[in-house]
Amino acid sequence: MIIQRRRAGCGDRFMSSGRRRVTFLTLPLFLLLSLRSQIAVQAQADSNPPASQSTVNTAYTPSPANLAARKWFQDAKSGMFIHWGVYSVLGEGEWVMNNKGIPISEYEKIPPQFNPTEFNPAEWVALAKAAGMKYITITSKHHDGFAIFDSKVSDYDVVDRTPYKKDILKMLAEECRKQGIKLFFYHSQLDWHHPDYFPLGRTGHSSGRPAQGEWTRYLDYMDGQLRELLTNYGQIGGIWFDGWWDKPDADWRLDKTYKLIHDLQPQALIGNNHHRKPFPGEDFQMFEKDLPGGKTAEFNRDTEIGDLPLETCETINKSWGYNKNDSSYKSDKELLHYLIRAAGHNANFLLNVGPLPTGKIQPEFVTQLRAMGQWMTKYGDSIYGTRGGPVAPRPWGVTTQKGNKIYFHILDWQDSLLPLPNIHGIIRSARFLNTGRKADIIDTGQGLVLSIPAGTIDPVDTILVLEM
């Protein structure tokens, strides 16, 4: 069998052996590329019939500002998740109230101990930027019900109950605006503290609340806090809901809540970590501790991928909120691989830090984030502004694409030849982004194969860039 071998250079054309001209396939490829980038900004109107009364019944047409924000979101690719609340004082994660069975009467003794005098929002935002992140998503209220902003519909917040007395979200929002970072708020629908979160759901049974309560009053309270978040902190990126799964059969009145948000700030993106296919009214879909479609986490068993922009979130160690006993840090390489694989799955990567009760971010996290940022400074072209590429994710790595460029991210491959499936059309140039060297691509007649010369493999990501 004769293998034709040609080098890709500027203007070079790849032709398969003999009769088949690969150039004929150029148009379909470009059509495919442009179609793919359109798909994610399409409305998620009424493609998902409501599963129960807990979902939304109203058809939703996203505003032009919302569609533009979705595109921005998809281009941004990397964000910082921040889990911070009074639970950081105990240093056992954000679920400590539930996990240790702490009743409200005891838990309420923690806020008076929360005094993060070393909190410097400028430092946090600068760190996110140094890590190559384009947005921050911070917990406005977690499942413990404690708000780290100045709420007027409750006094269970940082201004009224802690010696710190300052509105943390206001400080952070101002700094994000100054440094050009978008700010999203994580907001827990589940609430272990509010008396009207009744009947109880699957969690929070040791809180010691009376066995009564008015559910709609709780929903009014939640909408009240959301109104504050959408009114008092300037233009925000969006709301990241969590906790729906605590009461999957309850009437969450989502259509009213989502309408409130979209009316107040049409560009604000709504995502809900309910582990289901997106409901109407939502603007992006997140995956917790799994790449899109992955089902390694138990709660992702029933998750399906929808048509919205995607995001996957993960922790640096195993904890979201600060955990003093958790030193199981992932390596720089593992974190970068997660980010790169997410991009190849057409998803953003939202990486978490759980700051200390002092307001500092622990040095181990800072080191990791800076290392990631250094990589992004060098190779960000192959991530930012891209969409998932023409080859679906593989064990060896992923592909991304942007304009006329296709990036092969080779993450785990030991051999000197790698098949390049699904590449049709003229390849104008082929080179390794790491070294700038031209790449040899062999046309076997049955498909293209990349030759990886000895010494070319990069320990993190060997990136082949094809210009079409």
User: 411: which 2 tokens?
Assistant: 């993450």
Beta carbons within 10 angstroms of residue 371's beta carbon: 17
| CB of residue 86 to ligand H79, shortest distance in Å | 14
List CB contacts of 354: < 8 A, sequence separation 6 or more. Answer: 82, 83, 84, 88, 93, 94, 315, 319, 320, 321, 322, 323
Q: Considering beta carbons, is residue 12 or 290 the nearer one to ligand H79?
A: 290
141: CB partners within 8 A, 6+ apart = 85, 147, 148, 187, 188, 191, 225
Residue 322 interacts with ligand H79 (CB under 6 A): yes or no: no
Backbone angles phi, psi at 288, to 5 degrees: -95, 125
Residue 286: CB minimum distance to ligand H79, A: 8
By CB under 6 A, is residue 191 in contact with ligand H79? no
Among 202, 205, 378, 437, the residue binding ligand H79 under the rule CB under 6 A is 202
- Rounded Cα distance between 430 and 421, Å, is 15
Among 30, 198, 245, 396, contact with ligand H79 (rule: CB under 6 A): 245
Q: Does 462 bind ligand H79 (CB under 6 A)?
A: no
Of 181 and 351, nearer to ligand H79 (C-beta) is 351
| CA-to-CA separations, 292 to 58, 133, 310, 347, 421, in angstroms, rounded | 26, 20, 7, 7, 22
- Under the binding rule (CB under 6 A), the answer on residue 144 touching ligand H79 is no
**Under rule CB under 6 A, residue 311 binds ligand H79:** no
Q: Which is nearer to ligand H79, 297 or 417 (CB)?
A: 297
Question: Is 320 near ligand H79 (CB under 6 A)?
Answer: yes
Buried b (16+ CB within 10 A) or exposed e, 161-177: bbebeebbbbbbbbbbe
Q: Is 397 exposed, middle or buried (0-12, 13-18, 19+ CB in 10 A)?
A: buried
Residue 94, interface with ligand H79 (CB under 6 A)? yes
The gap between the terminal CA atoms of the chain, to the nearest Å, is: 28
User: Does 299 engage in binding with ligand H79 (CB under 6 A)?
Assistant: yes
**Two structure tokens written together for 43:** 């409305």
- Smallest gap, in angstroms, from Cβ of residue 320 to ligand H79? 4
Site track for ligand H79 across 363-392, x = CB under 6 A: ------------------------------
Nearer to ligand H79, 320 or 432 (CB): 320
Q: Is 46 or 304 the residue whose CB approaches ligand H79 more closely?
A: 304
Q: Does 288 bind ligand H79 (CB under 6 A)?
A: yes
Which one of residues 37, 154, 189, 203 is an interface residue with ligand H79 (CB under 6 A)? 203
Q: Which parts of this chain interact with ligand H79 (CB under 6 A)?
A: 94-95, 202-203, 242, 245, 288, 299, 313, 320
